[in-house]
Amino acid sequence: MAKFSSLTIMKFKPLSNHLFIEPMEEEKTTKSGIVIPDTAEKEKPIRGKVLAVGPGKASDKGERIPMSVKVGDVVLFKKYGPDEIEIDGKKYLVGDEDDVLAIVE
């Protein structure tokens, strides 16, 4: 996992179809108040907020294919898709648009 200082977070500009995502904590307690331990969790999609997006992937003809997600979108993404980086002790994810499964509305 790469580590950076807080000054560099403002300098991230994803390239191609890459995204910079802030993972959101999932609820670890059921409605009835039962706490779910980390060891009991299944491999399920994870939610996160998109902080930065690239310009989109280039087609074979050199034209940009626009991104489907935008800054501020809350997305579901594959657990093992994006790469994890750490900035001042906080974890972020950098991945491809293909890692995103859905936009949460």
CB under 8 A, 24+ apart: contacts of 81-88: 82/19, 82/21, 84/1, 85/1, 85/2, 85/3, 85/4, 86/1, 86/2, 86/3, 86/4, 87/3, 87/4, 87/5, 87/6, 87/8, 87/9, 88/4, 88/5, 88/6
Q: Which two tokens stand for residue 94?
A: 């950098």
pLDDT at 46: 83
pLDDT at 64: 92
Number of domains in the chain: 1
pLDDT at 80: 81
Record the pTM: 0.73
Task: Answer whether residue 37 is part of any domain.
Answer: no
Backbone angles phi, psi at 81, to 5 degrees: -80, -65
Task: Answer whether residue 14 is part of any domain.
Answer: yes
Per-residue model confidence as pLDDT tens for the chain (105 residues): 665 555 455 567 888 999 999 988 765 666 676 766 555 555 556 899 999 999 999 999 989 999 999 999 999 988 788 888 888 888 889 999 999 999 998
**What is the rounded CA–CA span in Å between residue 87 and residue 51?**
14
CATH of the domain at 87: 2.30.33.40
pLDDT at 7: 47
Range of the domain at 17: 2-25+43-104
